[in-house]
Structures are given as C-alpha cells and as structure tokens.
Chains A and B, each alone.
Chain A
Amino acid sequence: MAPKLTPEVLSSLARRDLLRAAATGSVLSVLGGSYALAADDDPRTKEKRPDGRPRLPPGQRLISALKPMGGDPGDPSPASFKLKVHGEVAAPFELDFIGLLALPQTEIPLDVHCVTSWSAFDVLWSGVRVSLLAEKAKVKGDARHVIFEAANGYTANVRLAEALAPGVLVAHKANRKPLARAHGTPVRAVVPDLYFWKSAKWLTGIRFVKQDQPGYWETRGYHNHADPWLEERYG
C-alpha cells in the first residue's frame, strides 16, 4: 500500500525532486517510506534577518512544511496534559490544557531549522511565551539554563537567555491547526533559533536550573548548544 503524505508535504514535492526520489529512494519505498524534498529557488532563502544573519542557515534547504521527525510519542490527550513549571523558581506551578489556553496567547510566524538539514519558514505558531511562564513562576536569579522536559524522559537544555527570547513558545497550534500527533500534540516547545531537537515535543515540564544538564540528544553526540548559523550539529 502506498504511503500517505499530508497535503502540506505533498505540495513540497517538486517534479524534479520526485524523480530524484524515485531514483534514489527505492530501498525506502520498499520499506513503505517516502521522500519529501526541498522546494527550490525560493527568494526567501536569500533574505537576511534583522540581525544580519542569512535567513536560511548554512547547510540548510528550505521545504514548505514541517516534517515529522519521529521520537517516542507521548500521551496525545489534552485532558491528561499537565505542564509543570519548576526548578529554580519562587512560585512553581502546574498548568492543564485549559489553563494554558487561559494565559495570554501569542501567534507568531517563526522559522525552524532541523539538524537533518531542512528548514521551514513562516510556520505560524500559537501558544504562550516561555518568558511569560518564567515571569509567572518568578525565576530565581541564579538560574542559568532551562530544561524542556517531555514524554518518555526526553529532555532538551537551552540557555536561559535564549529560552526567554520573544519567539520561544509553548505551542499548541501550528498554522492555526491543533498540533498533529507527529508534531507533539497537545503541546510542544518551539525554540526557533536553535536546531529543532531543542523544541521538545509532547512537553510535560519546564525546569529552571543553575547548572547545565545536557539532554537526550546532547548526551548522544549532538551539540550542546545547537546554533544553526554556526552549524553546531554535533558535539
């Protein structure tokens, strides 16, 4: 049976790329897989960010939709969802899904960059800024890092200043649609200026810590910081 692709991924399959996939992807096709290749010649790849850096980081290719990248799925139930904000904070708290939706919401287009070399531009994320959650939890002065905690023990570490940047979200929608299972429903982190593995799916907690604690991929050979513009892919 042919694999099913989402409409977004299908739209990214240019004819030339499809032929290339047909030529090179026979093994994966046998396994029931599919290639989703880049959209070429998009003028946005030549743009600069306000900070002067190229919008498309080095070594990346632009695709037109988020790609599912696997992971050990968590509980997709919004009713069971709990987000624990804790660690080096004066006022730890826990949110359920309704509680998260009741906080001031942010809708913002963000670019994301996967360590496997694809980037997606202008994904419209909806959610709550991590900085707002930090403010609500009253983060202590000696906190230096944030650990995003997710299902099945997955963690990702981010420097505090980077985690509190305006674009860093606890997101529950992408492109105005509830997060799909492949993208960590009901809630995931979005840390747009670091490689996408830092944006933990199936988010369960945000822990503020004094000392850095390398996470799941960071302890498996990937870079501790993960800046796409410095190509910090591997440690």
Chain B
Amino acid sequence: MAEPRRLLLRPWVRALHRDLGYLAVGLTLVYALSGLAVNHIADWDPNFQNFERTHQLGPLPGDDDAIARAVVEKLSIQEKPTEVYRASDDQLDVVFSKRTLHVNPATGQVIDEGQKPRFLVRVANWLHLNRGKKSWTYIADAYAAGLLFLALSGLFMIPGRKGLLGRGAIFVALGVAIPVAYVQLSGGPEAASSAKRPGR
C-alpha cells in the first residue's frame, strides 16, 4: 500500500522567501540608504549640497538686464537665467535653475547661493518619505507586507537545532528584546514627551 503524500510546506516557504528576497533587494537599498540619510538630518542636508559664495565685482552700471549680463559674464556662468528681478534698489536677483545671484548693483557685491541635489540619496529620500504620493503608497505598502512575509517565513526556513528549536530562537529573542529593552530603559515616548515638562 502506498504511503499517503505529505504536504511539504518548507520547500514552498523557502522558494517564496528566496524569490521575494530577490524582489526586495532594490527597495531595501532605497529604504536603507534613505533611512541612514534622514536619520542624521540634524548633521547634514540629506537632499542637497548647499553652497554660498560672495563675489566683489565692483560697481555695475546699466539697466537690470545689462547688470545681469555683466554679472553672468564676469562669473563665467554658461547657464541662461530664468529670471532677472529687481526687488529693491540694492537687490537685483538673477535666478537660475539651481542657484540665485543676489546682486547689489551699487557695491558690486554678489551673493551666489544655491543647491546641488544629491543624485541618488535625494531620489531615495523622495521615495522613502513618499513625497510623490499616488501609486507609490501602494508599492510601499506591498513592500512592507513583503518584509513581514520575509520575516515570518524566515522563521521556518531552517529545521532542527539551527532553526526555531535552537539557535534561531535565541536570535529571534534577542532581536525582539532589543527594541523592548530600549523602550523600557528609555521610558519610551511618554518619558520623552512628558517627563521634562515643568509643572505637569
């Protein structure tokens, strides 16, 4: 008599885990890179490199357009301004795509300031923070659900002593304990928002 066929779940779990893992690589890089960048926002601008330079060009005669042309020429700027705007007697703004020249025509002082986007990180941040909204919300939700699947399916990948019945359980417990311990030791969000409030 033939043995009844056993339903073997583990090979299916492993195959799904493997393929979903491959699929998640790109998005994981995006979120991890952006996470590192934004986590340290107090220390740097994660989206742009900002610059500011001051030039002394001497008196700049003529009308606004002539002044703008002279400044652009003296600073050897190849780009064409998108706007020349007289804000006041001592402020003529020459605006470019990523920089602005704030010109004082009387003194010839030019403040040249602007931003250079950090190519890869800015895009990653834009995705991570879901600035674009729309369909990215669904992709991000699907990715989050995929991570949940990867985490849970990962528990059952390995049988025996290296799996959940042994070494695996220790590491799972450790991984769970880290955030729990941090919240316990730090006092959690309540401590951060209320403990230092005088008179409350």
**Residues of A bordering B, CB below 8 Å:** 3-4, 6-8, 21, 25, 27-28, 31-37, 58-59, 67-70, 72-73, 76-79, 97-98, 101, 114, 116-118, 152, 177-178, 180-182, 185-186, 223, 230-235
B184: Cβ under 8 A from any A Cβ: no
- Among B44, B111, B131, which residue has its beta carbon within 8 angstroms of that of A178? B111
Chain A residue contacts of B56, Cβ below 8 A? none
Asked if B111 and A177 make an inter-chain contact with CB atoms under 8 angstroms apart, the answer reads yes
Known: A77-B83, A231-B193. A33 touches B50 (CB 8 A): no
- Among A28, A72, A152, A180, which residue has its beta carbon within 8 angstroms of that of B44? A28
Closest to A33 in B: B44
* In the bound complex, CA of A70 to CA of B52 (Å): 16
* In the bound complex, CA of A233 to CA of B82 (Å): 39
Asked if B193 and A35 make an inter-chain contact with CB atoms under 8 angstroms apart, the answer reads no
Asked if A116 and B88 make an inter-chain contact with CB atoms under 8 angstroms apart, the answer reads no
Chain B residue contacts of A182, Cβ below 8 A? 45, 48, 50, 113, 115
Known: A4-B49, A35-B44, A177-B102. A231 touches B197 (CB 8 A): yes
Chain A residue contacts of B98, Cβ below 8 A? 181
**Residues of B bordering A, CB below 8 Å:** 33, 36-37, 40-52, 82-83, 85, 87-88, 91, 93, 95, 98-100, 102, 111, 113-115, 118, 121, 125, 131, 189, 192-193, 196-198, 200
Chain B residue contacts of A178, Cβ below 8 A? 87, 91, 93, 100, 102, 111
Some 9 contacts from A to B, beta carbons below 8 A apart, are A3-B44, A31-B118, A70-B45, A77-B83, A78-B85, A78-B95, A178-B87, A178-B111, A181-B114
Closest to A182 in B: B50
Name the prevailing secondary structure of the B interface residues.
mixed
For the complex with contacts A68-B45, A70-B125, 10 further pairs of A-B residues with Cβ separation under 8 Å are A32-B49, A33-B44, A77-B95, A78-B93, A114-B42, A177-B102, A178-B91, A180-B50, A180-B52, A181-B98
Chain B residue contacts of A185, Cβ below 8 A? 100
- Among B40, B102, B125, which residue has its beta carbon within 8 angstroms of that of A33? B40
* In the bound complex, CA of A35 to CA of B40 (Å): 9
Asked if B95 and A76 make an inter-chain contact with CB atoms under 8 angstroms apart, the answer reads yes
Known: A33-B37, A70-B41. A6 touches B88 (CB 8 A): no
* In the bound complex, CA of A32 to CA of B40 (Å): 13
* In the bound complex, CA of A6 to CA of B87 (Å): 24
Within the complex, what minimum Cβ distance (angstroms) separates B200 from chain A? Answer: 8
Closest to B91 in A: A178
Asked if B121 and A32 make an inter-chain contact with CB atoms under 8 angstroms apart, the answer reads yes
Closest to B84 in A: A79
Known: A58-B196, A76-B95. A69 touches B45 (CB 8 A): yes
Chain B residue contacts of A152, Cβ below 8 A? 131
Within the complex, what minimum Cβ distance (angstroms) separates B7 from chain A? Answer: 44
Known: A72-B131, A78-B85. A233 touches B193 (CB 8 A): yes
Asked if A31 and B36 make an inter-chain contact with CB atoms under 8 angstroms apart, the answer reads yes
Known: A177-B102, A178-B93, A234-B192. A33 touches B111 (CB 8 A): no
Within the complex, what minimum Cβ distance (angstroms) separates B170 from chain A? Answer: 29
Asked if B51 and A6 make an inter-chain contact with CB atoms under 8 angstroms apart, the answer reads yes
Asked if B42 and A116 make an inter-chain contact with CB atoms under 8 angstroms apart, the answer reads yes
Asked if A73 and B115 make an inter-chain contact with CB atoms under 8 angstroms apart, the answer reads yes
- Among B46, B85, B113, B200, which residue has its beta carbon within 8 angstroms of that of A79? B85
Closest to A100 in B: B87
Chain B residue contacts of A72, Cβ below 8 A? 131
* In the bound complex, CA of A73 to CA of B99 (Å): 12
Closest to B88 in A: A101
Asked if A4 and B50 make an inter-chain contact with CB atoms under 8 angstroms apart, the answer reads yes
Closest to A118 in B: B42
Closest to B125 in A: A70
* In the bound complex, CA of A181 to CA of B98 (Å): 9
Chain B residue contacts of A118, Cβ below 8 A? 42
